[in-house]
Structure 1
Amino acid sequence: MKSDVFRKMPVEKLLSHNQEGKGLKKVLGAFELTMLGIGAIIGTGIFVLTGVAAADYAGPALILSFIISGIACAFAALCYAELSAMIPISGSAYTFGYVGLGEIWGWLIGWDLILEYCVAVAAVSIGWSGYIVNILNILGIHLPKALIAAPGSGGIINLPAILILALIAGLLLLGAKESAKLNNILVAVKIAVVLLFIILGFKHVEPANWHPFMPYGWSGVFSGAAIVFFAYIGFDAVATAAEEVKNPQKDLPKGIIGSLLICTVLYIVVSAILTGMVPYLDFKDNAAPVAYALSKVGIQWGSALVSVGAVCGITSVLLVMMYGSTRLFYALSRDGLLPKVFSQVSQKSGAPTKSIALVFIATALVAGFFPIGKVAELTNMGTLAAFVIVSLSVIVLRKSRPDLQRPFKVPFVPVVPILAVVFCLFLILQLPTFTKMAFLVWISIGFIVYVFYGYKHSSLNEEKIKS
């Protein structure tokens, strides 16, 4: 068993899944992929995290925090682009780790991503619920506390969070093409709202608010970078769509790198204007900093519009994250590391129906009955770990499989992948101890699941037994 846990999935075997009549339907292009990336990246980060990070960590130097996180993501994004164009198969970091580093590493990063996606979906749905409840309160509609909060937060069930998850799951059952259409509309609305904030806010910037620029020093800037990294989580979801892309060799790199560039520019501009409009300490404990800044300078209608944009933004994040998690379960199941039932695909819609049902049940239970709290920080930890595995896989595959066709190549290998690993490990060190300990517990559980189920049922193991 010792050597078998490092067995690698042959690229040729994976690509055979992508033949006509097998796998998922090819319906996405470069535009849809870019919109998927923006849909996942711009949401909670820009509408919520900017204020928290400015007040508690970086001050006006939040701009530098976003740049540092953006650079770390850029190095990792290049690695994702090479591997996803070379291996256009569902599973993202899990698949790349399986091919490059071996089964045990692929499984552990897949297990890690299960937690990342499900916790992110649950946490974002709770945020969506909070925004909707707030809007209903403004309209004079007051829902009972028992139905809008989890037991640990003074209620019985967070019903709005469960209802939005049910709606998203229902949409995903219709297929990737229909989901992408709705996502395009939601992304267009939220980009319009972000641009409106930039135009309105620019006129109200007071340079005096940028002093002191770095009130918490470089340690605050680096801590802020680790926190706002959550704002960049999303282009991984573009890679999970690989199997449904019409021309993956060209379109995947465009979608991954394009969405990251657009979002990085928007984040930097918004954080600069936000801290220029209002003193950074005013954002302490403020869950809606963008809307607050506009109302503070007297633009009430703009504040209301931003709230609508935030709901659209958070909805598209939910859609893309839930989509990504279902494709991850599909890939793990297809390879035998999870029960085969989760890789069954609907003949009509081409969607992995059982995976969608599983993700809905898991996220609804967490969102409806558990207050998320610190567990949401595991999303950052999980993504950073995935980026490390993907970057290392690029280096290994360049040496072990130089024969593979690479439509897109990371420049300056191994320097760029090594820089991605160094940046990600540095940001991991900035995260709270609780987050790192909880991550180790989850990975330990995953190792046990692999030993007692995954190893025996792996498609590679079954092939070995047959031969």
Structure 2
Amino acid sequence: MSDAVDRGGVPPDMPAGAQDGQHALHRAIGPFQLFAYTLGGMLGAGIYGLVGRAAGDLGNAVWLGFAVAMVAALLTGLSYASLGSRYPRAGGAAYVTQRAYGMRLLTWTVGLAVMASGLTSVATQSRVVAVNLLALFPVGVPPVIVALGFLMLVGGLVFRGIRESMAANIVCTAVEFLGLVLVILVGLPYWGSVDLLEVPSPDGITATMLLSGAILTFFAFIGFEDSLNVAEECRDPSRTVPIGIVGAMLAATVLYMAVAVTAVSVVPYAELARAPSPLAAVTARAAPWLPGWAYIAITIFAVANTALLNYVTASRLAYGMARDGLLPKPLARVHPATRTPHVAVAVLFVLLVALMLAGDIGQLASATVLLLLTVFMIVNMALVVLQRRPGEPRGGFEVPAFVPVLGALVCGALLFNRVAGGDWRAPAMAGAILVAILALYALMRPRTTARTA
């Protein structure tokens, strides 16, 4: 088998649709756009509450927790960057899983688990956006109507084109970034006022404490994995994907650590841990002149951006799986004018509306995080398998085998920690989702095409 051709005879860096006369996705993403896409996926609104929870465990040393978490998350991030440079395909984790293991059931499970994570996230975020918009503009409209309008807006943007989606992402990511920078700037005069190694325990910083804090802050980095699903739409993916993923993870780490230092410098860590909105407490004390609506507006941009990126990711995953025979073939159709998978976008919109109307699905969203950690383990080990297989194409960014192995071990440890020490409802819900995924497989009996077989 040639290094330039995959196991089905299709060059891994060439859209399959272009091979068989169909319309292909538009290669419109450069390094900066993918950097913003990855950074926007990680920043989200989670960091705004996560700092307080981590401060409860680590005290003033919360910044150290982010540093350790970055090392742990970067192991899997490097694996994804390497895989994206090797196999820039819209199927993302599902394509890589099938290529490595050749097991349809496993590929189906991975693909639908990732999709479930994205869809539950978008549905949840649509309601958050609605509540915050009504807080800014109390017009007496039911939140469900506002949430539906938001889903229509995001769905229309995803259908319109990857260029337009990337432009909207850059705007939203800039607002998220500047919001966190504003927190840092108003709190900068307080730097140096506290001992940044002070922790709640009289024993000082221990390995157990640091691990606990790192486990919590690790989830601030989730979002980098979305970039693998848009690799097919990148210009020069062997260079663009690694720059986008690794660069964004490093930038997020610096930003998170600076925010953490600022937060504990302005507000005592015990008080910060009790605050319902930790960074709002920081700005209220360091910048009392800042109007309350500004924080709400930043939150809207952050949540809306995450919803947009998850919608794009889910649509590309559905498109890639359909093209490879794992989902109904119509989902692989690409609109000739917009060059987007319009059928997948429309079908997902229906599913999103149903999820949004279902009400509070927070527990469902928590369960899909457990599934995502399992996917990380599978994808990390898939890279090991592909690295060891003779004839597999090399990418523009290669990592030694110990990187994905350690990445899989870290994700396994995180998964065990969440299942053993967390609320039993999330693991139970994750198990129910897996049962549903397996039942769908038995019902549909998908067949992979030669491209991934």
Give the Cα separation in 1 of the matches to 2:379 and 2:90.
Answer: 14
Whether the 8 Å contact between 1:111 and 1:443 is mirrored in structure 2 is: no
Whether the 8 Å contact between 1:335 and 1:458 is mirrored in structure 2 is: yes
Number of equivalenced pairs = 437
C-alpha displacement of 1:406: 2.2
When residues 89 and 349 of structure 1 are mapped into structure 2, their CA distance, relative to the original with a 3 A threshold, is same
1:31 counterpart = 2:20: no
In the alignment, which of 380, 385, 408 is matched to residue 421 of structure 1?
408
C-alpha displacement of 1:361: 2.0
Provide the residue aligned with 1:80 in structure 2. 80
1:450 counterpart = 2:445: no
C-alpha displacement of 1:236: 1.2
When residues 310 and 178 of structure 1 are mapped into structure 2, their CA distance, relative to the original with a 3 A threshold, is same
Give the Cα separation in 2 of the matches to 1:230 and 1:28.
Answer: 26
1:203 counterpart = 2:189: yes
Provide the residue aligned with 1:176 in structure 2. 162
1:380 counterpart = 2:369: yes
C-alpha displacement of 1:227: 3.7
Provide the residue aligned with 2:174 in structure 1. 188
Give the Cα separation in 2 of the matches to 1:375 and 1:64.
Answer: 30
Q: Please show how residues 249-328 of structure 1 align to structure 2 within 5 Å.
A: 249-284=238-273, 286-301=275-290, 304-328=293-317
Name the TM-score, length of structure 2 as normaliser: 0.88
In the alignment, which of 230, 233, 247 is matched to residue 244 of structure 1?
233
- Mean Cα displacement is larger for which, 306-315 or 82-91? 306-315
Q: Please show how residues 40-439 of structure 1 align to structure 2 within 5 Å.
A: 40-55=41-56, 57-102=57-102, 103-136=104-137, 141=138, 143=140, 147-148=142-143, 158-205=144-191, 207-208=193-194, 212-215=198-201, 219=208, 221-284=210-273, 286-301=275-290, 304-410=293-399, 412-413=400-401, 415-431=402-418, 432=422, 433-439=424-430
Unmatched tracts of structure 2, length 5 or more? 1-5
Whether the 8 Å contact between 2:15 and 2:89 is mirrored in structure 1 is: no
Whether the 8 Å contact between 1:79 and 1:394 is mirrored in structure 2 is: yes
- Mean Cα displacement is larger for which, 209-218 or 443-452? 209-218
Per-residue CA deviation, residues 298-332 of structure 1 (Å, 9 max, x unaligned), is 52316543332222222211111111011111111
C-alpha displacement of 1:108: 1.3
Report the AA paired with residue 97 of structure 1: T
C-alpha displacement of 1:349: 0.1
When residues 369 and 439 of structure 1 are mapped into structure 2, their CA distance, relative to the original with a 3 A threshold, is closer
Equivalent position SS for 2:219? helix
Per-residue CA deviation, residues 346-380 of structure 1 (Å, 9 max, x unaligned), is 11101111211222222222223311232221242
Per-residue CA deviation, residues 117-155 of structure 1 (Å, 9 max, x unaligned), is 11121222232223223323xxxx3636xx23xxxxxxx
Give the Cα separation in 2 of the matches to 1:59 and 1:375.
Answer: 30
RMSD of equivalent CA atoms: 2.6
Give the Cα separation in 2 of the matches to 1:280 and 1:297.
Answer: 15
C-alpha displacement of 1:18: 5.8
When residues 366 and 222 of structure 1 are mapped into structure 2, their CA distance, relative to the original with a 3 A threshold, is farther
Provide the residue aligned with 1:151 in structure 2. none
Whether the 8 Å contact between 1:73 and 1:232 is mirrored in structure 2 is: yes
Whether the 8 Å contact between 1:41 and 1:233 is mirrored in structure 2 is: yes
When residues 71 and 302 of structure 1 are mapped into structure 2, their CA distance, relative to the original with a 3 A threshold, is farther
Report the AA paired with residue 419 of structure 1: L
Provide the residue aligned with 2:3 in structure 1. none
When residues 325 and 112 of structure 1 are mapped into structure 2, their CA distance, relative to the original with a 3 A threshold, is same
Unmatched tracts of structure 1, length 5 or more? 1-7, 149-157
Equivalent position SS for 1:203? helix
- Mean Cα displacement is larger for which, 201-210 or 434-443? 201-210
Name the TM-score, length of structure 1 as normaliser: 0.86
C-alpha displacement of 1:270: 0.7
Give the Cα separation in 2 of the matches to 1:389 and 1:11.
Answer: 25
C-alpha displacement of 1:237: 1.3
Instruction: Give the fraction of aligned pairs with identical amino acids, expressed as a percent.
Output: 24
Give the Cα separation in 1 of the matches to 2:385 and 2:39.
Answer: 30
Give the Cα separation in 1 of the matches to 2:7 and 2:444.
Answer: 18
- Mean Cα displacement is larger for which, 59-68 or 212-221? 212-221
Whether the 8 Å contact between 1:165 and 1:360 is mirrored in structure 2 is: yes
C-alpha displacement of 1:255: 0.8
When residues 444 and 64 of structure 1 are mapped into structure 2, their CA distance, relative to the original with a 3 A threshold, is farther
When residues 211 and 419 of structure 1 are mapped into structure 2, their CA distance, relative to the original with a 3 A threshold, is closer
- Mean Cα displacement is larger for which, 431-440 or 207-216? 207-216
